[in-house]
A and B are shown apart, each in its own frame.
Chain A
């Protein structure tokens, strides 16, 4: 197991956001966490990334307990997050955003190569490399956010709502890219409200509801699960 989350409890002040969730992810998998607003999906990712503190429970990554590790250390171990709402640095250029992604690395030669790879994958970013991040369109910003995450050379990529606010064509493009990244050996933990898209590419998925995992199965099976169809896929298609 690459990542194992055991009985995770997280609070925002007095409000309990995660009520003891368990899940795991094997190397090379795409695992999706789906659920409505407030189910605790982003909270889970932020706790893994070290931005939030767990009150109980454990997060184990490649055999190491990372529950109490600070966020910068977690990136160094190989877990990168592409945050919800993209959160690119609007006042930095596209290049600088990518350089910040490579902040934890010092080997200039390899960073340059990574950058070339990223620009090959996202030619739009290459065209706009000297533009400020804030001037990009929503889709370009999402690409930049993913590219910036890749610059950290992650073993595990956490993606928080990558389809948010994007046109359907772009959503498909982004999901293709996610699959490509996965095929090249990066494991992926995907949080999505767009359950349809997420389940269609996920090896396995967990359904979260108000801080609990209520279902777990292989992606395509959940797509056919009547309960899931009812609650998250908008009835029958």
Chain B
């Protein structure tokens, strides 16, 4: 029996448009070219390639700490908090003042001079990072209460524009002479940099003034500290969100606010806590970033903030593991494009990733968790 419904015959142009073949082919072509470039370079000089990966990892972990704040806040109030990158900047400045002006990183050494300098510095540096995190969390509480809470029921675009306003406020208030000043300021690290080499001959310490031995990659204690701190904070966040009472309330609130209220959850405090945690993690990232690239500047939050935002979108905004994976990819994309294409191109490439993600998979790698069936 012949079917009575005949499929309409598509013209070639219609087919091309409907299947989006050109766009897909283009993206596939770019992906292949990138892979080819990477493979050629990795084979030609594996040491440099590995070194790029190490550098990318360090950057990626810092981005991950920032991206978590974007993704958590988006998950709970559906707001892209564009002021988040500036909270990161404030975190860097807080640690800067704590170290340069108040020598907070030295307090243990001053109190008990007999203690091993390593332990004393470690405790001192942890104090500084905790201070940055706490003050950033407080700043975020204030921002949320003053700027976002009154707009909770307003159209989302109003809150988004307000976020941009808050971002400008933090930047230009910071640029004032008596606040952070409008200049680049060198950042004093709370500890000395130690660099190690790793190669076929094994593990060694890089002596200052000597070149890197052939075939070795180098990494510093900053790399180790950034990776360890980030992994610790990431696991801590994962624990808070999945295991604690507040974390479960956060997820319930993110999913359905009226029903969360019916369960006795005060959603205002849960939202404040979410902003606070996100900002605290960004504050930690600010200090780590300033330690790795030792200068502070009132605009320093813009580019890392945007890159972390791209990372969050790439991983699937609202998803915590997504933010982490997205950030690691962004870190690699940035260092690899700086290394193999050109340094000024790295930002262009990072933001092209955003466009590509939005075109082919707007929900990102991990996407939104599936909704309840109707």
Contact = CB atoms under 8 A, between A and B. Distances in A.
Contacts of B251: 89, 91-92, 96
A80 B371 CA distance: 24
B20 interface: no
B16 to A, nearest CB: 38
Contact of A148 (B261, B263, B372): B263
A70 B268 CA distance: 12
B57 interface: no
Nearest to A46: B258
Main SS of chain B's interface residues?
Answer: helix
Interface residues of B, number: 22
B208 interface: no
B266 interface: yes
A83 B259 CA distance: 8
A89 B255 contact: yes
Interface string B244-275: 01001101101110111111111000000000
A166 interface: no
Nearest to B259: A87
Given A96-B248, A134-B370, A91 B264 contact: no
B196 to A, nearest CB: 43
A128 B373 CA distance: 17
Contact of A75 (B248, B263, B369, B373): B263
Interface stretch (A98-106, A114-122, A224-232): A98-106
A81 interface: yes
19 contacts: A70-B261, A72-B265, A75-B263, A75-B264, A80-B262, A87-B258, A87-B259, A88-B372, A90-B255, A90-B369, A91-B369, A92-B248, A92-B251, A103-B263, A104-B263, A141-B372, A148-B263, A152-B263, A152-B264
A133 interface: yes
A96 B245 CA distance: 9
Interface residues of A, number: 30
Given A70-B261, A71-B258, 4 more contacts: A92-B255, A101-B263, A103-B265, A152-B264
Nearest to B247: A96
Residue among B249, B258, B369 with max Cβ neighbours from chain A (10 Å): B258
A203 B259 CA distance: 28
Nearest to B242: A96
Nearest to B265: A103
B372 A90 contact: yes
Contact of B252 (A70, A100, A141): A100
B373 A89 contact: no
Interface in B39-74: none
B256 A87 contact: yes
Interface in A128-165: 133-134, 138, 141, 148, 152
Sorted from nearest, which 10 A-B pairs have the closest CB atoms? Answer: A90-B372, A104-B264, A75-B264, A71-B261, A87-B259, A72-B264, A134-B372, A91-B369, A100-B252, A89-B255
Contacts of A75: 262-264
B265 A100 contact: yes
Contacts of B258: 51, 71, 83, 87
A71 B264 CA distance: 7
B249 A100 contact: yes
A223 B2 CA distance: 55
A90 to B, nearest CB: 4
Contacts of A49: 262
Contacts of A221: none
A27 interface: no
A35 to B, nearest CB: 22
A89 B259 contact: yes
A71 B267 CA distance: 10
Given A89-B252, A91-B251, A92-B251, A100 B263 contact: yes
Nearest to A95: B248
A162 to B, nearest CB: 15
A149 B37 CA distance: 58
B262 A83 contact: yes
A91 B245 contact: no
A119 to B, nearest CB: 18
A100 B251 CA distance: 10
A99 B262 CA distance: 14
A67 B202 CA distance: 73
Given A100-B248, A100-B252, A133 B265 contact: no
B10 to A, nearest CB: 37
B293 to A, nearest CB: 37
A76 interface: yes
Residue among B256, B258, B262, B371 with max Cβ neighbours from chain A (10 Å): B262
